[in-house]
Amino acid sequence: MILYEDAYILALYKPNNMLVHHSYMAKNQAEEMTLLESFQQKYQRKVFPLHRLDRKTSGLVLCAKDTTYVATFQQLFTSSTIEKVYYGLVRGFTPKQGEINSPVKGRDANVYKEAFTFYKTLQCVSLSIPVPPYETSRYSLIAMIPKTGRMHQLRIHMNKINHPLIGDPKYGDRFHNRMFQTNFEIDTLFLHAASLVFTHPYSQKQIEIKCPFPQHWQDIAKKFNWTLPS
């Protein structure tokens, strides 16, 4: 799905559990259709991703239409002059808002790099579904604005403050993940790259691109009587 397009860039919707492109870090990559391959197959043209999303994360991926535009737009990400907003469903009741300042390992897995995430709690719910050792279970819908772009940053940061993302097999809580599988038949990560806001480096216009929520988000919002951000 194309979310935005102009003469220089376009924004694509990436579903959960899809690679943006093949990389040496991805397992079983040769057997998978990536986002870029799917786009090229459908539209018969190539695009060049300007940033990354984890395989398990859904949402917006910004791409350049030509390699000559890549460096200019990537500067928006390296200079942190582009605002990225993610939404997550996490275990427990999170504070009203906060900032997480905790280093995260780089992609070489040896060097820790500074990482900053601001978050804000939007809605909470308490369920009469027991998750040991408690007789009830509590969850929060949060907005996250990462100030840096480290690998798995949001997933690691929410785990560090004891509010892991639901459906996260690596950094999450297996008991709460299992509860969602058993009671709601959902085993998908609740992390969604929802919007980008930036000044277009060529037109100098303010651009805001939004991405709709996947179906599993809409399903759980109905069950929790939540209104998802628009």
**pLDDT tens-place string over residues 57-109:** 999 999 999 999 999 999 999 898 999 999 999 999 999 999 999 999 866 56
Q: Residue 211 contacts by C-beta under 8 Å, 6 or more apart in sequence? A: 3, 11, 13, 58, 59, 60, 192, 193, 194, 195
The residue written with tokens 């504070």 in the block is 95
Which of 54, 66, 173, 219 is labelled catalytic?
A: 54
Tens-digit pLDDT profile for residues 146-159: 999 899 999 999 99
Catalytic: 108? Answer: no
- Helix ranges (H only) for 24-78 are 35-43, 70-78
Q: What pTM was computed for the model? A: 0.94
The average pLDDT across 113-128 equals: 96
Domain architecture of the chain: domains with CATH: 2-224 (3.30.2350.10)
